[in-house]
């Protein structure tokens, strides 16, 4: 397993950058719910080695229980953190790539202080944002502040989907968080898409069309 460290942030700090934010997102692939981004700032490595030793990693490698645990520690020990989300309605209007960029922009804009350097997971930087930045594929695996952001984004989105599970029972959102599991797909076939499904995503569009045809045929 790859262990993240704080070396990239320290190198940037030596170059004169003071407020360095790690940014990551959660929820590009699901068929329902928002995409959520997080920005996290650590100004020094005072508590970072302890967090790394405790097991802070890319959120995808952690259990739900560990993510929840580290979420609280990151909030307590970071100098700044914020999230931004973009709804499924907006995703359908502007596409998931642009929605992800918008969520990231919201996250960094919601920080208490504007960052002067941003480390972004992926291949796309935050367009037209007035700060130096770099996009690095798989940054959440080896850059500590991005790993921390991945945890904040994932836990935040999971909690949103667990709330949606209460509003739209039957789909199993609390379990699969909107991803296209077999159970989720079967429930969409049975009940049709609900308000938070991304209708611009091909599987949902096809299932919605088939659901309408089936129900119209039954009425006829």
Average pLDDT, the chain: 93
- Farthest-apart Cα atoms in the chain, separation: 72
Strands 80-86 vs 20-26: parallel, antiparallel or unpaired:
unpaired
Region 119-145 average pLDDT: 96
Least confident of 44-48, 66-70, 81-85, 100-104: 44-48
Look at residue 213 in the predicted model and tell me its pLDDT.
Answer: 61
| Confidence (pTM) | 0.93
- Both structure tokens of 92: 């359908």
Pair 22, 39: CB distance under 8 Å? yes
Give the CA radius of gyration of the chain. Answer: 19
* Residue-wise pLDDT tens digits, 160-200: 999 999 999 999 999 999 999 999 999 999 999 999 999 99
- The three-point CA angle 155-160-165 to 5° equals 120
């Amino acid at each position: 397993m790859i262990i993240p460290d704080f070396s990239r942030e320290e190198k940037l700090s030596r170059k004169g950058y003071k407020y360095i934010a790690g940014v990551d997102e959660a929820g590009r692939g699901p068929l329902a719910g928002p995409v959520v981004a997080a920005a996290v700032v650590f100004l020094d490595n005072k508590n970072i080695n302890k967090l790394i030793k405790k097991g802070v990693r890319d959120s995808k490698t952690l259990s739900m229980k560990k993510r929840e645990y580290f979420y609280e520690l990151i909030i307590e020990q970071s100098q700044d953190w914020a999230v931004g989300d973009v709804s499924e309605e907006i995703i359908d209007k502007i596409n998931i790539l642009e929605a992800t960029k918008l969520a990231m922009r919201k996250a960094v804009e919601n920080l208490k202080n504007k960052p002067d350097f941003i480390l972004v997971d992926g291949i796309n930087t935050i367009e037209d944002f007035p700060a130096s930045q770099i996009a690095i594929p798989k940054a959440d695996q080896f850059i500590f502040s991005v790993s921390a952001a991945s945890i904040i984004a994932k836990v935040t989105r999971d909690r949103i989907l667990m709330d949606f599970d209460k509003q739209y029972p039957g789909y199993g959102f609390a379990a699969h968080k909107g991803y296209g599991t077999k159970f989720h797909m079967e429930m969409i076939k049975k009940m049709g898409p609900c308000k938070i499904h991304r209708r611009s995503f091909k599987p949902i569009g096809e299932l919605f069309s088939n659901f309408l045809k089936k129900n119209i045929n039954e009425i006829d």
